């Protein structure tokens, strides 16, 4: 049972402006440690799978950076999407690449920009998920909820399955606060982490069944995987594939699903307000980074400084970020709105700051 990690490294990471830019999105930032998130993602798989069996899926503008950060990645394992087409086509591309080498190989699909505190616990759940997937199930990992979170989707968990894992009763969109509290109190729901485990042939069969609009394009690519004509075919076919998420395109429709609940210190590091979940805070709850950062009489703040001095005085629950050429100041509970800054800069055509 060979495991092939598939690291999804697309996306622009607009919620981390001004640190994140088009050329340096969230997955390339050292938000949870001294290393970029994508580097940590690959490192926590050591002992479970080899880098030589790992695939990275990203866009053309990030390919060189991804290859540089993932040491030892074979050139053929860097799958470059000609255009962004959401997660279903990206995963289909990876499944085609794995199936050409190992039809029953197990894909472990991971976002490149999440954080896991308990690597050993994470690997234990992935090993069990791979075992369940080897039996033909499409497996998704669910995170035991720590609070009534409105920023995540939820999975309703059913009875235990004979081959391992639990039934998936339903996928639920991001809820309002009252609904989120009801989900957590019921004990029937887990957070949807966007982590999937399945055999290459099983997920390709699921695409054929549940996304027939992709079948023609995937058939055309299947015929030329590994051949010299593949790049040209990919450039021609991929932009025509439907831009659909794997959740909506396959997982919400398939019958051979299984969910494995887990609790291994997971965070999607979704905004600056999540930084205290993944970095140590001082005795006043402040997370401070940067050699010249000065924090006085502050509580619950996130202060990220560049090389120049940054002084913050008398603030509570604020985010202050200096990227060297731009400064952001926002209340922690409004940090999801940072993307609106990016939209405003686009409207003003301030491309040098994007």
Place of tokens 């959401």: 86
What does the H/E/C string look like for the chain?
CCEEEEEECCCCCHHHCCCCECCECHHHCCCCCCCCHHHHHHHCCCCCCCHHHCEEEECHHHHHHHHHHCCCCCHHHEEECCCCCCHHHHHHHHHHHHHHHCCCCEEEEEECCCEECCHHHHHHHHHHHHHHHHCCCEEEEEECCCCCCCCCCEEEEEEECCCCCEEEEEEECCCCHHHHHHHHHHCCEEEEEEEEEEEHHHHHHHHHHHCHHHHHHHHHHHCCCCCCCHHHHHHHHHHHCCCCCHHHHHHCCCCCEEEEEECCCEECCCCHHHHHHHCCCCCCCCEEECCCEEEECCECCEEECCCCCEEEECCECEEEEECCCCEEEEEHHHHHHHHHHHHHHHHCCCHHHC
pLDDT in tens, 324-347: 999 999 999 999 899 999 999 999
Q: What is the pLDDT of residue 137?
A: 96
pLDDT for 299-315, tens place per residue?
999 999 998 999 999 99
**Of 108, 128, 127, residue with least CA distance to 198:** 108
Reported as a pLDDT band with limits 50, 70 and 90, residue 14 is: confident
Q: Which pLDDT value is given to residue 340?
A: 93
pLDDT at residue 156 tops 90: yes
**Overall average pLDDT of the 7-26 stretch:** 89
pTM over 0.75: yes
Residue 22 confidence (pLDDT): 87
CATH 3.90.550.10, the chain: domain bounds: 3-267
Question: Which pLDDT belongs to residue 174?
Answer: 93
Name the band, by pLDDT with cuts 50, 70 and 90, for residue 110: very high
Average pLDDT over residues 48-72: 94
At residue 288 the predicted structure's pLDDT band, cuts being 50, 70 and 90, is: very high
pLDDT digits (tens, 9 = 90+) for 163-211: 899 999 999 999 999 999 999 999 999 999 999 999 999 999 999 999 9
pLDDT band at 353 (very low <50, low <70, confident <90, very high): confident
Q: What is the mean pLDDT of residues 76-82?
A: 95
Q: Which CATH number fits domain 3-267: 1.10.1750.10, 3.30.470.10, 3.30.1360.120, 3.90.550.10?
A: 3.90.550.10
Q: What is the pLDDT of residue 64?
A: 93
Q: What confidence category does residue 252 fall into, taking pLDDT thresholds of 50, 70 and 90?
A: very high
Q: Which of 276, 275, 266 is nearest to 143 (CA)?
A: 266
Residues 354, 352: Cα–Cα separation, whole Å: 6
């Amino acid at each position: 049972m060979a495991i092939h990690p598939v690291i999804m490294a697309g996306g622009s990471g607009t919620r981390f402006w001004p640190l994140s830019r088009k050329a340096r999105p969230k997955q390339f930032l050292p938000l949870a440690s001294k290393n970029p998130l994508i580097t940590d993602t690959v490192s926590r798989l050591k002992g479970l799978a080899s880098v030589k069996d790992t695939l990275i899926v990203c866009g053309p503008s990030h390919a060189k950076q991804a290859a540089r950060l993932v040491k030892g990645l074979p050139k053929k394992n860097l799958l470059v999407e000609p255009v962004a087409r959401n997660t279903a086509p990206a995963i289909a591309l990876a499944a085609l690449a794995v199936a050409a080498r190992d039809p029953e190989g197990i894909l472990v699909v991971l976002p490149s920009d999440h954080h896991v505190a308990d690597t050993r616990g994470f690997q234990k759940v992935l090993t069990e998920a791979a075992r369940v997937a080897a039996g033909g199930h499409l497996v998704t990992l669910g995170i035991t909820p720590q609070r009534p979170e409105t920023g995540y989707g939820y999975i309703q968990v059913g009875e235990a399955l004979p081959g391992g894992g639990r039934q998936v009763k339903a996928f639920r969109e991001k809820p309002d606060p009252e609904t989120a509290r009801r989900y957590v109190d019921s004990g029937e729901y887990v957070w949807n982490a966007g982590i999937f485990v399945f055999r290459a042939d099983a997920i390709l069969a699921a695409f054929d069944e549940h996304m027939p609009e992709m079948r023609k394009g995937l058939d055309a690519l299947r015929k030329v995987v590994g051949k010299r004509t593949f790049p040209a075919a990919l450039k021609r076919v991929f932009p025509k594939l439907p831009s659909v998420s794997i959740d909506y395109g396959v997982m919400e429709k398939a019958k051979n699903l299984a969910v494995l609940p887990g609790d291994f210190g997971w965070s999607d590091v979704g905004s600056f307000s999540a930084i205290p979940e993944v970095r140590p805070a001082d005795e006043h709850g402040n997370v401070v980074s940067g050699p010249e950062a000065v924090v006085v009489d502050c509580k619950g703040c996130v202060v990220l400084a560049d090389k120049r001095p940054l002084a913050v005085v008398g603030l509570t629950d604020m985010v202050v970020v200096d990227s060297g050429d731009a400064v952001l100041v926002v209340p922690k509970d409004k940090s999801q709105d940072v993307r609106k800054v990016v939209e405003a800069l686009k409207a003003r055509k301030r491309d040098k700051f994007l």
